[in-house]
Amino acid sequence: MTDGGENCRGAALEESLLPEEAAARTGKKYEKTYLDVLGVCCSAEVALVERLLAPLDGVRAVSVVVPSRTVIVEHDPEATSQSRIVKVLNGAGLEASVRAYGSSGVISRWPSPYIVACGVLLLASSFSWLLPALRWLALGAACAGAPPMILRGFAAASRLALDINLLMLIAVAGAVALKDYTEAGAIVFLFTTAEWLETLACTKASAGMSSLMSMIPPKAVLAETGEVVNVRDIGVGAVIAVRAGEVVPVDGVVVDGQSEVDERSLTGESYPVPKQPQSEVWAGTLNLDGYIAVRTTALAENSTVAKMEKLVEEAQNSRSKTQRLIDSCAKYYTPAVVVAGAGVALLPPLLGAGDPERWFRLSLVLLVSACPCALVLSTPVATFCALLTAARMGILVKGGDILESLGEITAVAFDKTGTITRGEFTIDAFRVVGDKVHITHLLYWISSIESKSSHPMAAALVEYAQSKSIQPKPENVAEFRILPGEGIYGEMDGKHIYIGNNRALARRSCHTDTEKIDDLKGVSIGHVICDGDLVGVFSLSDDCRTGASEAIQELRSMGITSVMLTGDSAEAARHAQQQLGGILEELHSALFPEDKVRLVAALKARAGPTMMVGDGINDAPALAMADVGVSMGISGSAAAMETSHATLMSSDILRVPEAVRLGRRARRTILVNVVASVAAKAAVLVLALAWRPLLWAAVLADVGTCLLVVLNSMLLLGEGRTTGRGKEEACRATARSLDMRRSQLAALASSNTAAPATASGEKDCHCCQKQSESHEDSVAIDIPADENRQE
């Protein structure tokens, strides 16, 4: 018997410590169930929900999102069904229901029968001056509206928890004991009505989160057979058909067809993006006007929108430092006030003080004030609304702490390539140095090695080689390595080839023909070293993003210092500074990843809370070092997105000042909420001590302040783009970007009829434009390696 018990406990412990391995070993399949639980009004109910659900068989995790009244249960459906979970929660009067797929989770707009009955009876009792017997209807009003409170209060008491329902029931019982039935009915009616209005406001605030979770359609069509299948059954590499007006179900790459896709659901930018073969598309985006066939690159549960959902869910469940402080204070506040209320009720009469009824009323007022619901809600509701607004703007913030830190930022460090600049390079000059290698062989080696890299410079070099009718063969690269801060290395045909910047040249080249390099003019210069000899040089150019100057100017107007950290050369940094109008306060060039970390740490010590904005894998250490690390774009480095604290789903750099502005607004909202919550409690207590203890006033102050906190927090949902000249410039920039993308699509479509298609996607038009140009044209700078080359 003992051995069996030990084995059971061991199995349970193993499953709790290693849930994924245990699930795989036992064959259990867990799923997430989302429930709307209207009885959750503050953090006091969180512990109640966890105590109710944790003992159920097959329940692995329970999380409660108080602001949206949502409970997320991860469980084995074979061990515990959804109906069982709902029954357990409703047994405690928590009014739970399973959220249907695609629903917003919004409750009925009309009050419950309990509230209606309570209100009607209380109104009728107000005519007791005509017929004294009507006063008993006030007692009936209290009884009619109290059942949900009684269920929740009993559930809390049975688990030795003290929540607002239990405290309100004590207040109602006290009013009845004093034969003040009208006040008892008013307490119940005010409490239930305010709670309903608060729930209505919370569900309205969470509607955006619900729409995010239902972006992905449940079904998809296989292109080859036309079969309709469940999205979760689609494997990587399958080809699915997406018709006009349909939502893309899984991340993938277009293999056939052309269309425009609205990516607003992910990026917050409401303009169509052209898509053609080799273009990436993401789940949750809307295909507007054409047929496309998409080869999937991820499973449904690993798609971009699924990652967004997971990040937002984790952010909602995380608690900011302000919230943790308030929760820890509330843990001691409620018992202390309850003890004080008991003392006020008992001690004065025992000491011979007069008017025991007044002291009893005062103790009831203290009991009603013992639940700090408004104070506890002041931070999470504001954080929830701000996180939802950020997600709607295409900014994923990974928690309340990060949101608060955004509001404290005093300095921003920008990466250059792919952040301040577009990261869309063009080759302006390519020269062979010496006579050891023919240009055809050199371009073949370079394009094959660069094909294994995801850096924007690599794409430009591959395009250039293809424009010369040279096709890369990355499978022939015997060895490939990234050299952080220098370049890349590959071995082909027995040759050791380095492609990189000045550091790569100085470290690995024995012979240098400086005449071929000195007359190159331009922004970025790269070098090709073969077996220790410099055999080629090339120059590239890259322009600043539209809106970069406006974004940095907005940061300056907010009193924030902006600096540039780049692995590129000083000349490239100065060129970007010139394009920006000289508004950056500091330029740091030729940096290794560790140099960026050191400079971010120095900036934090000198200027205060610092943000780092970058997109490359070599930015990851600096992003982690900053108080807030922000990675750029959906297609940015995975390492950068992992280590960053926030992610911009689009490449719109104007979102950076918007994020800071939202963080500051959230901090102000939290402060107003906290002050209002404390002031309301203090006002009621002062009124009770100085004049007359009014139970209904205490109830109104408690639940009314909760409602005001929610409504004030909801103002954050109206945060949008900046107004005035900045907004007009952003709109014009968006229009110019749209015109450019459409012209690229038209150019690609026309070129496909005259030239063979390449694998470079939208950038093919650059190749077509370059085909007629001589490779003797020039431009220059240092070229770093892959994502580690310069940014």
Residues recognised as catalytic:
415
CA angle 768, 772, 777 (to 5 degrees): 110
DSSP string across 324-384:
HHHHHHHHHHHHHHHHHHHHHHHHHHHTT-S-HHHHHHHHHHHHHTT--HHHHHTTHHHHH
Strand 628-632 to 646-648 pairing: parallel
> What does each C-alpha distance from 690 to 248, 341, 350, 473 come to in angstroms?
65, 17, 22, 87
Number of residues written out for the chain: 791
Residue whose tokens read 């890349």: 488
Helix or strand or coil: residue 741? helix
**What span, in angstroms and rounded, lies between the C-alpha atoms of 609 and 603?**
8
Task: Give me the torsion for CA of 278, 283, 288, 289, rounded to 10°.
Answer: 40
Q: Do the Cβ atoms of 727 and 721 come closer than 8 Å? A: yes
466, amino acid identity: Q
Contact call for residues 263 and 269 (beta carbons, < 8 A):
yes
Residue where the block lists tokens 């009885």: 39
389 near 669, Cβ under 8 Å?
no
**What own/partner pairs with CB < 8 Å and gap ≥ 24 does 431-434 have?**
431/516, 431/520, 431/536, 431/537, 431/538, 431/775, 431/776, 432/535, 432/536, 433/513, 433/516, 433/534, 433/535, 433/536, 433/537, 434/513, 434/533, 434/534, 434/535
| Token pair belonging to 518 | 């000195």
Angle at 291 between CA 290 and CA 292, to 5 degrees: 120
Q: Which residues contact 724 (CB under 8 A, 6 or more apart)?
A: none
For residues 524 and 542, what is the distance between their CA atoms, to the nearest angstrom? 8
Which residues make beta-bridge pairs with 221? 228, 241
Count how many Cα atoms sit within 13 Å of the Cα of residue 99 in the half-sphere of its side chain. 28
- In whole angstroms, what is the distance from residue 684 CA to residue 688 CA? 6
C-beta separation of 735 from 749 below 8 A = no
Token couple for 101: 């797929």
Q: How far apart are CA 284 and CA 302, in angstroms?
A: 13
Which residues lie across from 414 on neighbouring strands? Answer: 564, 613
Sheet holding 586-588, edge to edge: 395-397, 646-648, 628-632, 610-614, 411-414, 561-565, 586-588
